[in-house]
Chains A and B, each alone.
Chain A
Amino acid sequence: MPVVSLNVNGHSHKVDADPQTPLLWVLRDEIGLTGTKFGCGVAQCGACTVHVDGQAMRSCVAPVSAIAGRKVTTIEGLQSRAAKAVQKAWVDLDVVQCGYCQSGQIMSATVLLEQNPRPSDEDIDHAMAGNICRCATYVRIRAAIHAASAQLAA
Chain B
Amino acid sequence: MHPMMKAWQDAPENLALVAPARPPVPTRTGVTRRDVLAAGGLVVAIGALPGAASAAAQAREGTAAHAAFEPNQFVSIGADNLVTIVSKHHEMGQGNTTGLATLLADELDADWSLVRAEYAGANVKLYANLAFGMQGTGGSSAIANSYLQYRTAGATARAMLVSAAAQAWGVPAAEIRASDSVLTHASGKRATYGEMAAAAAKQEPPKDPALKTPEQFTLISREHATPRVDSASKCNGTAQYTGDVKLPGLLTAVIAFPPSFGARMVSFDAAAARKVRGVTDVVAVPEGVAVVAKNTWAAQQGRRALKITWDESAGAALDSDALLAHYRELATQPGTRFTKMAAAEDGKPAPVATKTVEAVYEFPFLAHAPMEPQSCVAWLHDGRLETWAGHQFPTFDHMLAAKAAGLPLEKVTLHTLVSGGSFGRRANAWSDFTVAAVNVAVAIHGRAPVRLQYTREDDMSAGLYRPMAVHSVQVGLDDTGRIASWKHGVATQSIVAGTAMAMMIKEGVDPTSVEGVSPSSYELPMMDGQLHSPTLAVRPLWWRSVGNTHTAYVMETMMDKLAQAAGQDPVAFRLALLEKNPRAVGVLKLVADKAGWGRSMPAGSAQGIAVHECFGTHVAQVAEVTLKDGKVRVDRVFCAVDCGVAVNPDVIRAQMEGGIGFALGALYYSEIELKAGRPVQRNFDQYKSLRIYEMPAVEVFIVPSTAAPSGVGEPGVPPLAPAVANAVVRAGGPAVTRLPFARSGLVSA
The residues of A with any CB-CB pair to B shorter than 8 Å are: 1, 17-18, 21-22, 25, 28-30, 32-42, 44-45, 47, 74-76, 78, 87, 90-91, 94-103, 106, 124-125, 128-129, 131-142
Contact = CB atoms under 8 A, between A and B. Distances in A.
Given A42-B683, A44-B684, A139 B657 contact: yes
Nearest to B293: A29
B699 to A, nearest CB: 10
A-B CB proximity, top 4 nearest = A35-B237, A136-B661, A100-B420, A99-B234
A29 B252 contact: yes
B371 A29 contact: no
Interface string B654-685: 10011111101100000000000000000111
B277 A18 contact: yes
Contacts of A138: 661, 690-692, 695
B449 to A, nearest CB: 14
Contact of A98 (B232, B233, B372): B372
Given A30-B295, A97-B94, A132-B684, A139 B695 contact: yes
A78 B239 CA distance: 16
A18 B239 CA distance: 29
A133 B420 CA distance: 10
Chain B interface size band reads 35 or more
Interface string B332-364: 000000000000000000000000000000000
Nearest to A131: B692
Contacts of B371: 37, 39, 45, 47, 98, 100-101, 132-135
Which residue among A97, A100, A102, A131 has the maximum number of chain B CB atoms within 10 Å of its CB? Answer: A97
Which residue among A28, A30, A36, A134 has the maximum number of chain B CB atoms within 10 Å of its CB? Answer: A134
6 contacts: A34-B243, A44-B684, A45-B456, A98-B422, A101-B371, A135-B661
B423 interface: yes
Given A44-B683, A135-B421, A100 B241 contact: yes
B654 A137 contact: yes
A74 B419 CA distance: 21
A103 B19 CA distance: 39
B204 interface: no
A94 B654 contact: yes
A32 B248 CA distance: 12
Nearest to B370: A134
A2 to B, nearest CB: 12
Contact of B92 (A45, A75, A98): A98
Interface string B223-245: 00001101111111111010110
Given A40-B684, A74-B237, A91-B231, A136 B296 contact: no
Contacts of B92: 98
Contact of B93 (A22, A99, A125): A99
Contacts of B422: 98
Contacts of B228: 94, 96
A6 B370 CA distance: 31
Contacts of A75: 236-237
Nearest to A75: B237
A88 B358 CA distance: 53
